[in-house]
Chain A
Amino acid sequence: AQSVSQHNHHVILSEAASLELGCNYSYGGTVNLFWYVQYPGQHLQLLLKYFSGDPLVKGIKGFEAEFIKSKFSFNLRKPSVQWSDTAEYFCAVNPLNYGGSQGNLIFGKGTKLSVKP
């Protein structure tokens, strides 16, 4: 079965620190890649997505992610975090041309980010 790994369960940073959250997936074929954010008590919001083209994608709120195909990775970055970035972040992969359920997203277990003011 395909899987998505998020390396950090909980990350604690001070405001203005830089952020990098790791995401690796196990599928060797073509993929759509996503990062979602979930603020406390709220539903999932799409931060950014990668379908094809430039492997460095920019999303909302100053976030970006880099797709490195050779490493099966899609790491999320932000140069300077704010207290308002405190949330849980989920990496998700949609493997294409894989079995009958090609639309299905496979989620990582999430990384909780706590930003200290």
Chain B
Amino acid sequence: NAGVTQTPKFQVLKTGQSMTLQCAQDMNHEYMSWYRQDPGMGLRLIHYSVGAGITDQGEVPNGYNVSRSTTEDFPLRLLSAAPSQTSVYFCASSYTSGVAYNEQFFGPGTRLTVL
């Protein structure tokens, strides 16, 4: 299994540009999520999905869109990039949600810079 994969690894955008960060998992996990990591802030949840066709907002959803058309893929879209979205983005997945013995697996991250 490849686990959780993310592309691209690095990206530089100009203010106002749009782009999609890709996330895929091959573990047949129901639950997927996106976090952003900023210095001194830990990881904060952007959006999450408990299954194909179901998404919901996390702590910091503004400026981001998600969709979940398949179990495997959970792309994160930046609609109009802003410098405040400069961050490292992590995708994660787990078999299910809200139960004991449930561990999330993280992808390698995408480092995004918005100029």
Min CB gap B51→A, angstroms: 11
Interface-lining segment among B18-26, B36-44, B64-72, B78-86: B36-44
Q: How many A-B residue pairs have CB under 8 A?
A: 70
Check B12 for interface membership: any CB of A closer than 8 A.
no
| B42 x A109 contact (CB < 8 A) | yes
Contact B106 A94 (CB under 8 A): no
**Inter-chain contacts of B40 with A (CB < 8 A):** 9, 109-110
Bound: A32/B31 CA distance, A: 16
Residue among B50, B56, B96, B104 making CB contact with A105, cutoff 8 Å: B104
Contact B100 A32 (CB under 8 A): yes
A43 with B106: CB separation less than 8 A:
yes
Q: Are B48 and A103 in contact (CB under 8 A)?
A: yes
Chain A residue at minimal CB-CB distance from B104 = A105
- Please pick, from A52, A90, A102, the residue contacting B97 in the complex, using a CB distance under 8 A: A102
Chain B residues within 8 Å of A26, by CB: none
B92-115 contact mask (Cβ, 8 Å, vs A): 1 or 0: 101011111111101111000000
A103-B33, A109-B42 as given contacts; A43 in contact with B56, CB under 8 Å = no
B61 touches A (CB below 8 Å): no
B74 interface hit (Cβ, 8 Å): no
How distant is A69 from chain B, measured CB to nearest CB, in Å? 14
Q: Name the A residues within 8 Å of B98 (CB-CB).
A: 96-97, 102-103
Taking the complex as formed, is A51 at the interface, i.e. its CB lies under 8 A from any CB of chain B? yes
Chain B positions within 8 Å of A, measured between CB atoms, are 31, 33, 35, 40-45, 48, 50, 56, 58, 90, 92, 94, 96-104, 106-109
